[in-house]
Amino acid sequence: MRCSCQTLPDAPSYNVIGEIRGSEHPDRFITMGGHLDSWDVGHGAHDDGAGLVQCMDALRLLQRIGYKPRNTIRFVAFMNEENGLRGGKEYAREAVRKGEKHVFAIESDAGGFTPRALTFESADPAFDDKFRQIRGWETIFENYGIRINKGGSGADVSPLRPTHAVLSGYSPDSQRYFDFHHTADDTFDKVHKRELELGAATIAGIVYLMDMYIR
């Protein structure tokens, strides 16, 4: 195999952001997203086109049922996760600079497969109390084979950790992920529509619960 990769000079790039303004607390934010960049050998379908589509579709689902969020729900397509995490870091810097209060942030960056778990972490000293409340929702998800665990979150949302936001990672079935991850096979025909929809519904569900009940 011959590799011909190279590092080119830096060039400007931008996160892509869309939001539904909060009806009660427009200055408090729930963020969900994935990263827009990918390795060039494939389409970046599972890493991370699927994650972006799931989070966009979660917004669509909330709008479709006429839900009016208490907090502002923000979708972010982060740039430059693959090569320096600059999109996530800049987003967090801007949040601090603007004094934004982030309640919750979730990332989908593990492929568009069947949902298996949601993981949660936070630097908030009150996180144990919040997690007990979140863990109580497991009965809602367990009928769909989804667990709620303490653990990591996602690379792009991790720079928000110092803000004490509750951070979460969407964890789908991992059995096939590395058949595609960073390979020429990571193409859109490898994404199963039903699995993608299940992920979007899972993300919409946890965003709804966090918006309604976590202070």
What's the pLDDT score for residue 83? 85
What is the extent of the structural domain holding 202? 16-213
Residue 11, in any domain of the structure? no
Instruction: Return the percentage of the chain with pLDDT > 90, whole number.
Output: 91
DSSP state for residue 82 in the 8-state scheme:
T
Q: How far is CA 194 from CA 43, 73, 115, in A?
A: 20, 24, 11
Show Cβ contacts of residue 198 under 8 Å, excluding neighbours closer than 6 positions: 114, 115, 144
Helix, strand, coil abundance in the chain, percent, nearest 5: 35, 25, 40
What's the pLDDT score for residue 3? 66
Average the pLDDT over 163-190 and give the result. 95
Taking only the tens place, the pLDDT of each residue in 19-64 is 999 999 999 999 999 999 888 789 999 999 999 999 999 999 999 9
pLDDT at 1 over 60: no
| Measured distance CA(195)–CA(151) in Å, rounded | 23
> Within its chain, how far is the Cα of 150 from the centroid?
16
| Measured distance CA(21)–CA(69) in Å, rounded | 7
Torsion sign, CA atoms 188, 193, 195, 198: positive
The confidence band for 5, taking pLDDT boundaries of 50, 70 and 90, is confident
The confidence band for 198, taking pLDDT boundaries of 50, 70 and 90, is very high
Domain count, the chain: 1
Q: How far is CA 131 from CA 69, 113, 114, 190, 193, in A?
A: 21, 25, 24, 35, 31
Residue 8, in any domain of the structure? no
Q: What is the mean pLDDT of the chain?
A: 95
Residue 189, in any domain of the structure? yes
Residue 4, in any domain of the structure? no
Of 148 and 38, the one with more pLDDT: 148
Buried/exposed code over 27-45 (b: 16+ C-beta within 10 A; e: otherwise): ebbbbbbbbbbbbeebbbb
Question: Which residue in 160, 36, 14, 169 sits closest to 95, CA to CA?
Answer: 160
What's the pLDDT score for residue 4? 75
Sheet holding 16-20, edge to edge: 16-20, 71-78, 25-35, 101-108, 166-172, 115-121, 147-150
pLDDT at 169 over 60: yes
User: What pTM, to 2 d.p., does this model score?
Assistant: 0.95
Residue 141, in any domain of the structure? yes
Query: Position of tokens 């790039």?
Result: 13
Residue 156, in any domain of the structure? yes
Residue 131, in any domain of the structure? yes
Taking only the tens place, the pLDDT of each residue in 58-111 is 999 999 999 999 999 999 999 999 888 999 999 999 999 999 999 999 999 999
Residue 52 sits in a domain whose CATH number is 3.40.630.10
Residue 114, in any domain of the structure? yes
What's the pLDDT score for residue 119? 98
What's the pLDDT score for residue 215? 82
The 3-state secondary structure of 23-51 reads CCEEEEEEEEEEECCCCCCCCCHHHHHHH
211 backbone dihedrals φ, ψ, rounded to 5°:
-70, -40
